[in-house]
Structure 1
Amino acid sequence: MDQTLAAETRSRQELFKSAFREHPAGVAVISAMSADGPVGLTASSVASVAVDPMTLSFSVTRAKGSAGGLLEAQTISVHLLAEHHVDLADAFARSGAPRFTPEQGWGEFGSGEPLLADARAALLCRITHIIKVGSSSVVLAEVLDIRLGESAPPLIYHDRRFRRLA
């Protein structure tokens, strides 16, 4: 790729990032039980896909660390966060931050997957498809169980920050 085309591509990529930086998204923590213990990460890409079968999607940008653990799992848990989960979302967004601590309120589904007891909703899912797109992977997962928590305003991600709805 010549330098002009490379510069144009980087410029378009920056425009793409800027466009989505201004597009608010709900925040979730996605977790699984790996051979080494629980793994999880914060995601703002969770979306409903279908009702029959109940399917959701999300994307991850790497295939190592927590993301790799999720991609290797057969089942995962998706926790839709409330505005009071800012610290939790931040912990699961930063490498090396404390995760799955008793203070964060973690339990488990009957089948062993991590369960955040006070999430707005917790969905136990089975991964059905992983689609590679460049350096990312889009995951489709069928919902097997749903636990609804207390109704609360959602936590959102906008302009690189976790925010509460005003």
Structure 2
Amino acid sequence: MTTCSTTPHEDIAASLKEVMAAVCTPVSVVTAMDGDRPHGTTVSAFASLSMAPPMVLVSLDRTSELLGIIQRGRRFGVNILGSAQSAAATTFARKGTDKFADTPWTLVGGVPRLTGTPGWVVCDASSFVEGGDHIVVLGEVREAVAHDGSPLTYFRRDFGTHMLLGQEHR
């Protein structure tokens, strides 16, 4: 058995990818506006941070165009995707500027809100924390809306959803 202290950096990174593939994560699309142009990207690193004040965190690749837009404008949205929205997750995971072409959305609180999401949060970025090849954006929540619906999750490099034990999927 190889231990972390004797495993080269590349092997540790590969092992960590395998470990993290076994962690079920929520799938969200983080959005922001650059002038009159909407931008967005799929993230699985999104979490609640604090209730006093209400805060969330998202992790964005430091080379992400969206990160630069959020750093300049400070306002961003988090669209928590539903179980039927894996196509949107795939679309927003790609590079490019045409991600909104076939995705229904509205401008809410100054940021793009994707239609049909079971959760929606509008935030103002309060801090940017460096973490390796990513930047963790800490956001103060300005608006939060929840709707019924099952979440889209990511597990073992595939999309799925959560089902409560003993209950049928809604």
Name the TM-score class by shorter chain.
0.7 to 0.9
Structure 2 partner of 1:159: 156
- 1: CA distance between counterparts of 2:72 and 2:156? 31
For 1:120-135, list aligned pairs within 5 A. Answer: 120-135=118-133
When normalised by structure 2's length, the TM-score is: 0.84
Structure 2 partner of 1:114: 112
- 1: CA distance between counterparts of 2:73 and 2:157? 28
Query: Bigger shift: 116-125 or 41-50?
Result: 116-125
- 2: CA distance between counterparts of 1:160 and 1:36? 34
- 2: CA distance between counterparts of 1:6 and 1:96? 40
Structure 1 partner of 2:103: 104
For 1:4-83, list aligned pairs within 5 A. Answer: 8-35=8-35, 37-83=37-83
Give the aligned length.
159
- Partner-residue secondary structure (3-state), 1:99: coil
CA contact 1:131–1:137 (8 Å) conserved in 2: yes
CA contact 1:77–1:124 (8 Å) conserved in 2: yes
* Offset, 1:115: 1.4
- Partner-residue secondary structure (3-state), 1:104: coil
Q: Percent identity?
A: 25
**Pairwise CA RMSD of aligned residues?**
2.1
Structure 1 partner of 2:93: 93
Unaligned stretches of 5+ in structure 1? none
CA contact 1:40–1:70 (8 Å) conserved in 2: no
